[in-house]
Each structure stands twice: as structure tokens, then as C-alpha cells.
Amino acid sequence: MRGTDKLLEPVEGMPLLRRQANLACSVTSGPVLLALPSPPHPRYQCLDALAVNRVAVPDADEGMNASLRTAFAALPGAPPAAMLLLADLPDLQQSDLLQVLNAVDLTSDTLIWRGSTADGKPGHPIVFASALFPAFSTLTGDGGGREVVVQAGDRVALIPLPGQRARRDLDTPEDWARWRAERAQAAAQ
């Protein structure tokens, strides 16, 4: 974002990363892990006083897959599934996460439950069944776990969420300005 950290952009009165961490905490009584660049890093400060596990990713410069590899390796115990919530999706709401979580059926042969746009484009959040956890250990690069999704084949359930919430990320200052203008306009109506 041209020198700024999009995860520290203010959303609803707090940094986006803190908002997303709060969102994750609001839908589970289990652990919430946040993959972060190694400290010291400004992202740690915005998480003060939150009951989350901060997982340092020493090779974060490698790309998103380093974060996924490290976070999935750090999962405590043997959970039957885990939700991946990207921190840069500011439109996601608690109801969206709950809708995806409520769709999870561990007795089915489905391996992935995935939020999608209202018109069916795959997005986030994504819940992965534990059978896929080992696949995260070999990820490299910046593919965002696509290889794991491909491995699941047709055993993926899409859960439609309102509008573009499941996919809308903001990568440039112009994206942020447009998004803020749209929110202000919607709030004024």
C-alpha cells in the first residue's frame, strides 16, 4: 500500500487487524491464532489485551504460504477443522463467519467449507477439515493455500454470503478511499 500497512488502517474505530481478531474471537471459544511477522512489528501493538495467540512467522517475507504453514503447524491439540480468516477483508461480519461455521458437517465427505460472493465466486472465510492440515506443511510462495484447495477437488462446499463480502480486499489507497466513500454514502441513506 505504498508504504502503509493496510492491516493497520482504521475500520470501525480500530485497526483492521484488531477488528478481524475480535471478529474471530466472537465466534469461537477455542484458540484464535494470528500469524504475524516476527517482533518487533507494529501489528503486535494493535493486538494488546486481546485473548489471541500471536504466532511469529520468521520467514514472512516469503509470502502468504509461510504464514499458513506456520499457523497450521501451531494449531494446539488435534482440532477436527480450522477456519482461515484473512485479515484484509473489511466487509466480513460476525454473521458471515457464523454462516460458514454452521455449514460445517464433519460427518460428510466435504473437506472445505468456503464463503463465496452472492453470485458464487469462491472467497473467505474458509474452514479446512483436519485431513488437509498436513498439506499446509509443504506450502511455499504466495499462493494463499490454493494448492490445498485444489487437493480437496470437488469436496468443497460454497456458502453464499451477501454481496462481495467474501472477496473484497483493499490493496491500494484508492481502494480504501472508494470503500470509505461507499460506506459513508450507505450510512447517510
Report the distance separating Cα 78 and Cα 20, nearest Å: 24
CATH entry, 6-188, from 3.40.1350.10, 3.40.50.300, 3.10.20.30, 3.90.550.10: 3.90.550.10
Q: What is the average pLDDT across 82-98?
A: 97
What pLDDT does 144 receive?
Answer: 86
Q: pTM for the whole thing?
A: 0.95
Give the integer Cα–Cα distance in Å for 105 and 139.
26
Please state, in angstroms and rounded to a whole number, the distance separating the CA atoms of residues 61 and 173: 22
pLDDT single digits (tens) 118-164: 999 999 999 999 999 999 999 998 888 999 999 999 999 999 999 99
Task: Give the pLDDT of residue 3.
Answer: 79
* Residue count of the chain: 189
pLDDT at position 97 over 80: yes
The pLDDT tens digits of the residues spanning 8-17 come to: 999 999 999 9
Q: What is the pLDDT of residues 32-75, one digit of tens each?
A: 999 999 999 999 999 999 999 999 999 999 999 999 999 999 99
In three-state form (DSSP H/G/I as H, E/B as E, the rest C), the secondary structure along the chain is CCCCCHHHCEECCEEHHHHHHHHHHHCCCCCCEEEEECCCCHHHHCCCCCCCEEEEECCHHHCHHHHHHHHHHCCCCCCCEEEECCCCCCCCCHHHHHHHHHHCCCCCCCCEEEEECCCCCEEEEEEEEHHHHHHHCCCCCCCCCHHHHHHCCCCEEEEECCCCCCCCCCCCHHHHHHHHHHHHHHHHC
- Name the residue with cell 501493538: 45
pLDDT for the residue numbered 88? 93
Domain boundaries, the chain: 6-188
Single-letter code of the amino acid located at 85: L
Predicted pLDDT at 175: 94
- Give yes or no for residue 92 having a pLDDT over 80: yes
Measure CA of the first residue to CA of the last residue in the chain; give whole Å: 30
Percent of the chain with pLDDT over 90: 94
Percent of the chain predicted with pLDDT > 70: 99
pLDDT in tens, 155-188: 999 999 999 999 999 989 999 999 999 999 999 9
Instruction: Read off the pLDDT band of 102 (50, 70, 90).
Output: very high
